Amino acid sequence: MDRASFKGKDYISTADWSVEELGEALDVSKELKAAFRNNEPHRLLPDKTLFMIFLDLSTRTRNAFEAGMTQLGGHAHFIDAGTSQIAHGEAPRDMGIILGSYGHGIAIRHDKVPGEGNAYMREVAAAAEVPIINLQCDIDHPTQQIADLMTIEEHFGTRDLSGMKICVSWAFAPSYAKPMSVPQGLALLLPRFGAELTIARPPEFRLQTGVMEQAHELAAEGGGSIVEVEDMDAGFEGATVVYPKSWGAEHLFGKEQEALALNARYKDWICDSRRMGIAAKDSIYMHCLPADRGNEVTDEVIDGEQSVVFQEAENRLHTGKALMALTMGGYA
């Protein structure tokens, strides 16, 4: 595939890219990981600037992109939205045009409020003349999901996930309003590579209807499937990959006390060694991190041999670099 053709392309959802384009991004990620490990220079974006706008906190995403941009020979400029005019309501269109005129890419995290972040990014993308990268919105977390897929490929030696049962499960955390973007992003991506995805969740924690309709359509095209169950054990049974994490109940966003009370009804939705025993013998445990230790997962599991969470977190760097290099003209 012609890598130059990616120049200027937005990356707002994996669904916006073809399976072949995503595969190319994975190939680039693999090359850049080897170059990083071997200390080989890979300054694909010399003197380029990425503006990174954050409306929420971050450890992995900010630092993977910031360090990654340095390693590519450019500069990632961090913008705390709360200290910019974005906090005063500056139009996304105006901001996109202006920052686009100062640099070569804009990356945005806007994930806290259902209905806002993805629409905001699409508005910026319509106006800006540089690529827009979604660092997590209300719908999707596509820079996380491509790192997840890279990790699965590294572990099992293939990105053809045909016949592989992957369980994305809700898990308990005593916290409020976590985005639905990770489970939704996994549903949008993995079945396109053939995965048999099972989403396990209590009845109140349904994912967004429109997103799931899109995920089912994409799954049908890719040869994978999606089923939903309301029992964590049933989800784990025979799964080759388990990805248990907390997310918020959409109907309770803005109702913190009710949301916390609902979560507390499902404290037994934890990934522990008993549940890992229900999964396939060679299964792996994944989490985008940060994990809520002792609630979502036991230390025994997250620190155990089946856990790949640190490899998964490291792959945020390599995949982030691949996405920046491709979309910002590193191969053009």
Q: How far is the CB of 306 from ligand CP (least distance, A)?
A: 19
Q: How far is the CB of 17 from ligand CP (least distance, A)?
A: 19
Return the closest-CA partner of residue 219 out of 283, 168, 170.
168
**Cα Rg for the chain, rounded, in angstroms?**
19
- The Cα-based distances of 112 to 117, 137, 140 in angstroms read 8, 7, 12
Q: How far is the CB of 287 from ligand CP (least distance, A)?
A: 8
Q: How far is the CB of 58 from ligand CP (least distance, A)?
A: 3
Residue nearest to ligand CP (CB): 61
What type of residue is 196? E
Q: How far is the CB of 183 from ligand CP (least distance, A)?
A: 13
Length of the chain: 332
**Two tokens at 313?**
């977190």
Return the closest-CA partner of residue 240 out of 186, 281, 272, 273.
281
Q: How far is the CB of 293 from ligand CP (least distance, A)?
A: 15
**Two tokens at 311?**
């490899």
Return the closest-CA partner of residue 249 out of 171, 169, 172, 180.
180
Residues that bind ligand CP (CB under 6 A): 58-61, 136, 144, 288-289
CA atoms within 13 A on the CB side of 209: 1
Closer by beta carbon to ligand CP, 60 or else 192: 60
Peptide bond into 290 cis (omega under 30): yes
Closer by beta carbon to ligand CP, 59 or else 70: 59
Q: How far is the CB of 289 from ligand CP (least distance, A)?
A: 5
Closer by beta carbon to ligand CP, 185 or else 222: 185
Closer by beta carbon to ligand CP, 59 or else 101: 59
- Paired sense of beta strands 132-137 and 105-110, if any: parallel
Q: What whole-number distance in Å separates Cα of residue 69 and Cα of residue 63?
A: 10
Listing DSSP states for 47-89 in one string gives: T-EEEEEESS--SHHHHHHHHHHHHTTSEEEEEEGGGSGGGGT
Q: How far is the CB of 86 from ligand CP (least distance, A)?
A: 19
Q: How far is the CB of 245 from ligand CP (least distance, A)?
A: 10
* H helix or E strand, kind and range, residue 274: helix 273-278
Closer by beta carbon to ligand CP, 219 or else 288: 288
> Which of the 8 DSSP states describes residue 190?
G
* H helix or E strand, kind and range, residue 242: strand 241-245
* H helix or E strand, kind and range, residue 277: helix 273-278
- H-state helical runs in 128-172: 142-156
